[in-house]
Amino acid sequence: MSLIRSITLCVLLGCSMTAAAVSTPEQLIGANCAGCHQDTANPDAPFSRMTNQRKTPEGWQMTLFRMQQVHGVQFIDPAEEMSPAEVKRVLVRHFADRNGLAPSETAPYRYILEQRLNTIEQHDNEQYAQMCARCHSGARVGLQRRTEQEWTHLVHFHLAQFPTTEYSMMGRDRDWIGIALNEMVPLLSEQFPMQSSAWDQWTQSPAIEFEGNWRVIGRMHEKGRYDGIMQVTAGEDRGYSVALQGQFENGESFEGTGQATVFTGYEWRATLSIDGVEYRQVFAAATDGTLSGRMFQTEHTELGLDFLAARNDGTARVMGVYPNYLRQGQEQNLTVIGTDMSGEIDLGADVEIIDRIASDSQRMVVRVKAAEQAMVGTRSLTVGATSAADALTVFDTIDRIQVLPEYAIGRVGDNGGSTPRRHALFDAIAWNAGPDGESGTADDVRVGIVPANWHVEPWDEQAERDEDVRFTGDMDTVSGRFSPGPAGPNPERKYGTNNAGNLKVVATVTDGVQTLNGEAHLIVTVQRWNNPPIP
């Protein structure tokens, strides 16, 4: 009899156990999962409900949460060594390590793990969008792998847990259960199969080393680019201590410390306190010695930093340059960030290095000038024998302004309630018309993020009649941050309704004698009460 089965039977029969007998994840599965999920008819795979699925750490966390909230699982350690929260952490890591997703499988959907919630999903299959992604993100489905039987179980679970599925919009107008079982299950089984070469290859990949010194760069809305150092120290139970410090391009410094855990060999998750604010890090590690992702406030996931880190392991890298655009005929300082850089800087034809202001292996500052006829477009930056593609854009004119995100949602909150307001953050992106001289075509050249003056207007006539600009919140004219109004009924509004509304966001950019505008759509709506790790 296998160890898991013997422990399972012991738990079910109530026999005594020693501390050593219940300390492994397999034994915790026997103690907490076997009562409902053990398949006695399949002794070779007694826990197939778990082993026939693969998910991200957040996916397994949501599964365990549902087991606790819906089915009353207590998550016990019979040896009474671990709390329920500690038991869940052990189980999540165990499942994610053994039944996770390969990096290439998560890559198309990492926006949802990184809480980039203004991403507009595009689905090739319209039926998939209607059957699956009308209630939650399509990325939630894409971050799972199941056998065909498990996809079938999931369909039945949906109707058992949410009986109104067949009667809500896009359910009552069709044979929902028939389509789900006969069309969607085969589609999902083919598109997101349990067995994949990507997962097989990843499980055979060399382990990634995390301990050490990491060079970091990124950008934070309102504060701009930053660079710094992240020190990672291995701790107990495969955890890590993290110390982060750096500086924004506006001169403001930041520093913080925290703890990290790595799942599936590459999924980095950490919690840090930075200047008294708690942040979460959701990164993916690559075998080339880099970490990338997003760091965001725990209470305000919309407020965060794009993040790229490279391990100082002796590899020469150019990680980035800022500012990352240069106008023809002008000169400016450029800051180049990397690891183990050495040698001369080269930006290609017609961009001259005038002065080398500061230089070390991780940070170089140079004064550059672009010739009047320098070729418009993106170009590589080379330092010695290493380079970064598309590091700098040379341009002559700004021909249009794009506001990103093009569609965003802000949410009212606070005002004595338990849910904070959710801000909406906008950037103005400058574009050059490109070789054909026609703005808005495929050969347009992206210049980059530029300063703008911001305001909001009514989106339509109804928004104007409802005075949405007055009641929905405030737009910071410099930063592009919209702060929604307080939650709850507003006695000043018609019918005492809340501070929801429909707005147009306008960015105005002055470039020499010309003024250009860009627009985006902003919906200000009510609180979102259900905030799962994967929406």
Among 176, 203, 230, give the residue marking a domain's end: 203
Evaluate whether residue 531 is within a structural domain.
no
Beta-strand pair 514-525/407-411? parallel
pTM above 0.95, yes or no: no
Whether 458 and 507 share a structural domain: yes
Supply the mean pLDDT for the chain. 92
Within a domain: 269: yes
Helix (H) or strand (E) holding 325: strand 325-327
Task: State the burial class of residue 81 (Cβ atoms within 10 Å of its Cβ: 0-12, 13-18, 19+).
Answer: exposed
- Residue 151: inside a domain: yes
Same domain, residue pair 231 and 245: yes
Sheet-wide strand order for 453-458: 407-411, 514-525, 501-511, 453-458
Last residue of a domain, one of 293, 311, 329: 311
Residue 146: both structure tokens together: 């199941």
Q: Would you list the DSSP string of 202-228?
A: HHTSPPPP--EEEEEEEEETTTEEEEE
Helix axis angle for 57-71 and 84-98, nearest 10°, is 140
- The boundaries of the domain holding residue 489 are 400-525
Q: In this predicted model, what pLDDT tens digit does every residue of 469-504 receive, in sequence order?
A: 999 999 999 999 999 999 999 999 999 999 999 999
For residue 304, which of 114, 479, 535 has the smallest C-alpha distance? Answer: 114
Beta-strand runs (E) in 89-176: 144-146
Q: Domain boundary residue among 203, 238, 269? A: 203
Which pLDDT does position 338 carry in this prediction?
97
Write the DSSP symbol of residue 181: I
- Is 488 in contact with 417 (CB distance < 8 Å)? yes
Residues recorded for the chain: 535
CATH of the domain at 380: 2.60.40.10
**pLDDT at residue number 23:** 66
Could you tell me if 120 and 232 lie in one domain?
no
Residue 102 backbone dihedrals phi, psi, to 5 degrees: -70, 160
Same domain, 113 and 199: yes
Which segments of 18-171 are extended strands (E)? 53-55, 144-146
Same domain for 450 and 511? Answer: yes
- Please indicate, yes or no, whether residues 95 and 42 belong to a single structural domain of this protein: yes
Contact 263, 92 (CB under 8 A): yes
Please give the span between the terminal C-alpha atoms of the chain, in angstroms, as a whole number: 41
Give pairs for 289-292: CB < 8 Å, separation 24+. Answer: 289/313, 289/315, 291/214
Closest CA to 258 of 232, 238, 226: 232
- Residue 184 located in a structural domain: yes
- Binned at pLDDT 50, 70 and 90, residue 149 comes out as very high
pLDDT at 6: 38
79 and 152, same domain (yes or no): no
Q: Is residue 328 part of a domain?
A: yes
Helix (H) or strand (E) holding 272: strand 267-274
pLDDT of 113-144, one tens digit each? 999 999 999 999 999 999 999 999 999 999 99
| pLDDT of 464 above 50 | yes
Distance CA 94, CA 57 (A): 9
209: which 2 tokens?
């080393």
Q: According to the model, what pLDDT value does residue 322 have?
A: 94
CATH of the domain at 241: 2.40.128.120
Query: Is the model's pLDDT at 35 over the cut of 70?
Result: yes
Task: State yes or no: pLDDT of 14 exceeds 60.
Answer: no
Are 258 and 267 within 8 A, CB to CB? no
Distance CA 449, CA 219 (A): 11
For 227-257, how does the pLDDT look when each residue is reduced to its tens digit (9 = 90+)? 999 999 999 877 999 999 999 988 899 999 9
The count of structural domains within the chain is 5
Q: Which helix (H) or strand (E) holds 370?
A: strand 363-370
Q: How many CB atoms lie within 10 A of CB 295?
A: 22
